[in-house]
Structure 1
Amino acid sequence: MLKSKYNWQMPKKQIDSKKVTEIAQACDLSEVAATVLIGRGYDTVEKATQFLKLDPEMIHDPFLLHDMQKAVDRIQAAIVANEKIVVYGDYDADGVTSTTIMFETLNELGADVDYFVPDRFKDGYGPNMAEYQQFIENGVQLMITVDNGVAGNEPINYAVTHGMDVIVTDHHEMPKELPNATAIVHPRYPGSHYPFSDLSGVGVAFKVASVLLDEVPEEFLDLVAIGTIGDLVSLTDENRFLVTSGLKVMSEGQRVGLNALLKVCGLEGQEINEQDIGFTIAPRLNAVGRIGNAGEAVELLTTFDDEKADQIAKHIDSVNEQRKQLVSDIYDEAVVQAQTPENVARKTLVITGTDWHQGVLGIVASRLVEATGKPTIVLSAAETEPNFKGSGRSVEALNLFEALNSQRDLYVNFGGHHMAVGLTIAKTNVEALRQLLEKSADGAQLNPNQIAPLAIDETLKVDQISLQVIQDLQRLGPFGTDNPIPEFEIDPEQVVNAKQIGADKSHLKFQLAGKKQQIDTIAFQQGALLPFIQAVPDHVKVVGTLESNTWRNQTKPQVMVKDLLIDAIPVIDKRTTHLSLQLFSEPATYVFFHKITYKRVKPYLAADVKTVVLDGNMQNDTSLTGNLTLVDCPDSISKFTNWLSDQEPDSLTVYFYQKNNAYLDGMPNREQSGKVFKFFVNHPVIDLKTQLPDVIKHLHITQSVLVFLIQVFSELKFVKIENGRVSYIQNPTPQKLTEAPAYKLREEQIKTQEKLLYSKSATLKTWIQEQLADKNEGVAD
């Protein structure tokens, strides 16, 4: 059996089929889409209709935001008085889009405005005291923060006391003590009555722009979509309308710089969706802030110069490639630390490095969490620096911010939320951090071996999938936080046409076959599973998303696999008469039934490869698990059958290599046995080292049969063997040849080899699977 990577969680409640039909008809949806809606709580016609409705009425009144009137009054006064204004942004996708909207709005209104995006490495996140002081010296009279500021007490209080007004527009967690700003525009301000708390930073900036311009500025909706998706805020309520509208604006290509970026991403002229933003556009805008200065991203988004836009877009794309290489290089080093015995024993990880690029440590931490299931903090510093800087990522079961916040005195700087933190810590305090994190994991009863859950919306048959169903499901989007893309468990009749694809054959392509149709399916990074799927094509289940794929002007449904399982043990027939290095390159436990075979192939085996050498002893009480490979052929089919029924592999590959083939040689007949016996009676001493070829020629018998009979005669004490010399023993006790252990073993070998080496592949696989199933069936009884 091939286990799933995730814990598949089916809907808890049985959905009423009458309700499905009612909502499907009322909303003009397929029953598949209606079932998804009901499962997500939109279980009445009214709720479903309201969810699907996408119109400007969904946008809430911006004046309901705390201090909105106060903020707008101060901005308008500054514009009238021609005061110097600075928009103070942030270096991620949400921050640069927020900066762009606020800057362009004020510029359009005739303000004396400039923007500033902090440098991640020089200025850090949020308000920076040194920069604020510089703005005051330069005569700036009004600063407007976007996507930051709510935690900037010290620099903001300083600015206000030195004559510079500060308007904070932010969406991050509210600290207990708020800054003494001129106005704080925030959807979760204590005591305010804004009806939707999950605006992004760009969403708040858009609200301010809407009031200043006295209309909903549709030309900014593309930026709202990028920042909202990039910051992983909830895609429900008004955010859903704003993003949907923004995707349409983006596809219309109104923004010069964005068009240039789409071109280098290979998305030019295409209809843009939320996945394009989440996986292609936002990462590139984020990359600039991670490695360089994110002001370049604002410059791209605000330019009207085609040539300049192309130049910046190409540079941003190259920076993103640099970012990916940095992540890969650092991850390769970090994962080695994660695999040390000390770290393997821990429930959490604190990984440290020297001169790692600090702009990508959060991504590396995320990859380690994904690989290990453990909350992870990745830190780096130069050799001579006293402090580490870095980022942490967590799992749902552990609130990382709360865990670390309990000992705030450990850090030079610290901030974050449930799933992510950033911190600066003295190198001397790292061990205390490890202990604190591990203690927090114990308190949360964290189990790193527990596989992550995967919510499944519905189980489908292959024949239920159609282009119409996919189109209806798209009406439930855009998908993201709080409105995930629907995941379906699909149980096909069988999998057909499976093959590896990609330059390195690392991906899988196959078709899920139903009774009436076959659906193309892609499983990325699963190429190694090809032989397992081919071994049991009628025992494969997948979880995936549905999408349409157009190729050569033909559009067809397609399944993108998120996870898969095989609910039978794949038996892979690779029987061979030749052992080579290539046969031992796959990760598996290699089982040898003969020590002599193990010694022969030992030079082929890597130092860390797992091996089990039974050497005829199959009375092992320990069940082997994982992927097993049976290298050579056992001698006894009965012992092998008993041994096999006690094993619990995920998959079983058989080579069944056999050097001496008893089945093909057969048993010597009565005439051959008598002829050989008579020869030794007449030749009392034979030196096999020198005379063997002559004996074989004289007797007209094969070497293997002669050697076998000599062994039988020796066991029955008809002859004795010393130093390669065979001597006849006078007057031996009469015995049947069948009493000799070698004779019995050969009979057993012939039966075993006939079954394991010469049966048809399908017959062998079925027989092995039946033996493996015996143990489980016995327990069930």
Structure 2
Amino acid sequence: MKRWIAAPADPGAVATLQREGFSSFMARILAARNIRTGEEAGRFLNPRLEDLEDPAKMKGMLPALARIREALANRESIAVYGDYDCDGVCATSILYLALRELGARVQAYIPDRFQEGYGLHEEAIRELYARGVRLIITVDTGITALRQAETARSLGVDLIITDHHQPPAELPRALAVVNPKQPGCPYSDTNLCGAGIAFKMVQGLLGRVPEEFLDLVAIATVADLVPLLGENRILVHFGLKQLQNPQRPGLAALIKSAGLDGRPLTSGHLGFQLGPRLNAAGRMETANAAFRLLTTADPEEAQKWTEQLETLNRERQRLCDEIAAVASEEIDRHPEWRAQPSLVLAGEGWNPGVIGIVASRMVEQYYRPTLVIALDGDTAKGSARSIPGFDLYSGLKEIADLFDRFGGHTMAAGFSLPAKRVEDLRRRFAEVAASRLTAEDLRPRILCDAEINLEKIDLPLAESLATLEPHGLGNPAPKLFVRSAPLLESRTVGASAAHLRLRIGNPEHPVTALAWRRGDDIRFLAQGVRAVHLVGRVQINEWNGTKKVQLELDDWRPAHKIPSLSQRQSLIGRI
């Protein structure tokens, strides 16, 4: 059973925000996001492009800009070297398009996930050198490319590395390394994604905020699961505004294909609909279709690439379902794995492009740090996903001797190793997880922002909460606790009855509550449950010009069971 826990909020900050005019309800929600004063709240609720930091403060940026300007002046051939995920493709597109507009002789290079794999490759450097390239700029990759940087130096190719991944102890000997996470970098915001750093580089080149690329950096920022705070919040806020009236033919076609044309877009649409479609190219084939879609000015060509992405995305969904089912069956065959604080799952022939998604599904289902590995003869490529409280990058670093290569973040990572080491990896990763996680850490938890009376859930409240958008990591949609809501009706919805829909509250003004992938719960509700405690997020459902408020449920319990959070406190202050 999931733990329902009151989200921590400093009482002093709550009191300060109330004195400065916020309701107790909104003050608590803001304080839970580490907002302590009215001034901070103003910046949070009203993002401004003027608050973006000067890119020149980023270590390595000034020598990088100087070298790019030199290449522009001398008409040198430049290559933008990217990555095949959504962030990498958007980053490549931003810098490629900006350099092209500045008159550069520029080409893009994105490695093939299946033939080359992740990262900067020596063979690619040599190929680009043979094409006449003398300046390579990486985006969203390269921070661990020690050997590759030496290859570039030996050929006389200048290398500028821009990356946002965790830097190793030794940095590559490039002409410039631009990464706000590197030691000695005074730039205050270290949470930018790869496209965010590319955006800042273009800002430095142009001497202004490149608003024409807000659409691309917004999609990448949400898709790459970086915190939507600070500069990321500003970029996504204004990017969403731009995407409401897309000027880029590729994004206009993609938005229409996703069924979002004319609808108010949210960060959820970027993360769950647009991002996965762009990711599908690099997951299933090469990232070429996504890159071409984002950089074309031809609507007909954009439609062609969109159709290809839709086909790839459907195949990606099929493969994910297939591998996830096999992985779950494997866990059922090994009940001893359920007793371990981590999961390591491996399968011959699994598509390495989708195993990250499968790892996320396994974390959602089993709530363990999870490694999913695609075996291909003697080689193994893996993706890892984590839970709050377990730093994946740090954990993998403890067993780095097992890997040929690895890298990533706190919550997600990738790696490769010889297939014969998978069993050692399973054992040693479990030991690392056991040393860092308690039994309580392995119980899924829901952080509740506030308790609310059901009758207070209406359109004005939903519109008030909408000012907290865009939501994502670091700023989740507020989760509200409702006590003893009368249950009027429960039914399953969806083609396979996978989802649950409840009608709760006053029969004259009922509230609809939806619980995704909880259709099996109907058998419990059918056993005479008359009222429920629930935790959910308030949403506005707009259809044919009509707005209605609804709840998206995170969890529910029969009202005769006391929620654990009420044993700790009367939750959080009612509205």
Range into which the TM-score falls when normalised by the shorter chain: over 0.9
Matched, 1:363 2:357: yes
Query: Any idea what the Cα deviations from partners look like across 1:607-639, whole Å, max 9, x if unmatched?
Result: xxxxxxxxxxxxxxxxxxxxxxxxxxxxxxxxx
Asked if 1:203 corresponds to 2:196, the answer is yes
TM superposition shift of 1:555: 1.7
Give 3-state SS (helix, strand or coil) of 1:358's partner.
Answer: coil
Q: CA deviation at 1:308?
A: 0.8
Partner of 2:180: 187
Q: Distance in 1 between matches of 2:453 and 2:33?
A: 21
Q: Give the match for residue 176 of structure 1.
A: 169
Find the aligned partners of 2:15 and 2:156 in 1 and give their Cα distance. 66
Distance 1:18 1:482 in 2: 22
Is the 8 Å Cα contact of residues 9 and 453 (structure 1) preserved in structure 2? yes
> Structure 1 counterpart of 2:554, which letter?
K
Pick aligned residue for 1:8 from 4, 8, 21:
4
Partner Cα distance (1:433, 1:499) in 2 = 44
Residue 114 of structure 1: how far off its partner (Å): 0.5
Q: Does structure 2 conserve the Cα–Cα contact (< 8 Å) formed by 1:490 and 1:541? A: yes
1:432 aligns with 2:411: no
Asked if structure 2 preserves the Cα contact closer than 8 Å seen for 1:462 and 1:514, the reply is no
Alpha-carbon spacing, 1:553–1:70, altered in 2? closer, same or farther (3 Å): closer
Aligned: 1:495 with 2:491:
no
Counterpart for residue 456 of structure 1:
448
Secondary structure in 2 matching 1:211: helix
Q: Tell whether 2:374 aligns with 1:380.
A: yes
The 3-state SS of whatever aligns with 1:122 is coil
Instruction: Please report how far the alpha carbon of residue 326 of structure 1 lies from its aligned counterpart in structure 2 after TM superposition.
Output: 0.6
User: Counterpart of 2:40 in structure 1: which amino acid?
Assistant: K
Distance 1:296 1:504, change over 3 A: closer
3-state SS, counterpart of residue 549 of structure 2: strand
Match of 1:93 among 52, 68, 86: 86
Q: Does 1:348 align with 2:336?
A: no
Q: CA deviation at 1:221?
A: 0.3
Relative to structure 1, the CA distance from residue 485 to residue 60 in structure 2 (aligned partners, 3 Å threshold; closer, same or farther) is same
Deviations 1:563-585 (A, max 9, x none): 1111437xxxxxxxxxxxxxxxx
Aligned with 1:554 (options 533, 546, 556): 546
TM-score by length of 1: 0.69
1:332 to 325, 341, 350: 325
Residue 41 (structure 1) aligns with: 34
After TM superposition, the structure 1 stretch with the greater mean CA deviation from structure 2, 65-74 or 301-310, is 65-74
Conserved 8 A contact 2:390-2:410: yes
Amino acid at match of 2:421: N
Amino acid at match of 2:492: Q
Letter in 2 for 1:483: N
CA shift, 1:47, in A, is 2.6
Residue of structure 2 in register with 1:279 after alignment: 272
Which 10-residue stretch deviates more, 401-410 or 359-368? 401-410
In 2, distance between residues paired with 1:342 and 1:464? 47
CA displacement at 1:271 relative to structure 2? 2.3
- Cα deviation for residue 184 of structure 1 reads 1.4
- Where does residue 586 of structure 1 map in the other structure? none
1:70 counterpart = 2:70: no
What residue is the counterpart of 2:567 in the other structure? none
Q: Equivalent residues in 2 for 1:112-123 (5 A)?
A: 112-123=105-116
Out of 430, 434, 437, the position equivalent to 1:442 is 434
Counterpart residue number, 1:224: 217
Deviation per residue, 1:181-237 (Å, 9 max, x gap): 111122223212112111111111111111212221111000010111111111111
Q: Give the residue type in structure 2 aligned to 1:344.
A: R
Counterpart among 216, 219, 235 of residue 242 in structure 1:
235
Unaligned runs of 5+ in 2: 562-575
Q: 2:464 maps to what in 1? A: 472
**Residue in 2 aligned with 1:714?**
none
| Deviation of the 1:443 alpha carbon | 1.8
Corresponding letter in the other structure for 2:416? T
User: Match for residue 262 of structure 2?
Assistant: 269
Partner of 1:530: 522
8 A contact 1:461–1:492 mirrored in 2: no
Structure index of larger Rg: 1
What do the CA deviations read for 1:114-149 (whole angstroms, capped 9, x no partner)? 101111122221110111111112221111111111
Instruction: Please give the alpha-carbon distance, in whole angstroms, between the structure 2 residues aligned to 1:531 and 1:442.
Output: 36
Structure 2 counterpart of 1:392, from 357, 360, 384: 384
- Is contact 1:327–1:360 with CA below 8 Å preserved after alignment? yes
What is the TM-score normalised by the length of structure 2?
Answer: 0.92
CA distance in 2, matches of 1:513, 1:130: 64
Deviation at 1:10?
1.1
Q: Look up the SS of the partner of 1:79 in the other structure.
A: helix
Structure with greater contact order relative to length (CA < 8 Å, sep ≥ 6):
2
- CA distance in structure 1 between the partners assigned to 2:165 and 2:106 by the alignment: 25
Q: Residue by residue, what CA displacement relative to the aligned partner does 1:44-79 show, whole Å, maximum 9, x if unpaired?
A: 323322322322221111111112221111111111
Mapped partners of 2:339, 2:443: distance in 1: 17
Deviation of 1:531 (Å): 4.6
CA RMSD of aligned residues (A): 2.2
Give, in whole Å, the separation in 1 of the partners of 2:88 and 2:8. 39
Q: Percent identity?
A: 36
Q: 1:398 to 1:244 in 2, by over 3 A?
A: closer
User: Structure 1 residues 438, 19: closer, same or farther in 2, change over 3 A?
Assistant: closer
Greater shift in the superposed pair: 493-502 or 128-137? 493-502
Q: Secondary structure at the match of 2:513?
A: strand
> 1:518 and 2:514 equivalent?
no
CA contact (8 A) 1:356 1:380 kept: yes
Change (3 A) 1:541 1:403: same
C-alpha distance in 1, partners of 2:126/2:470?
42
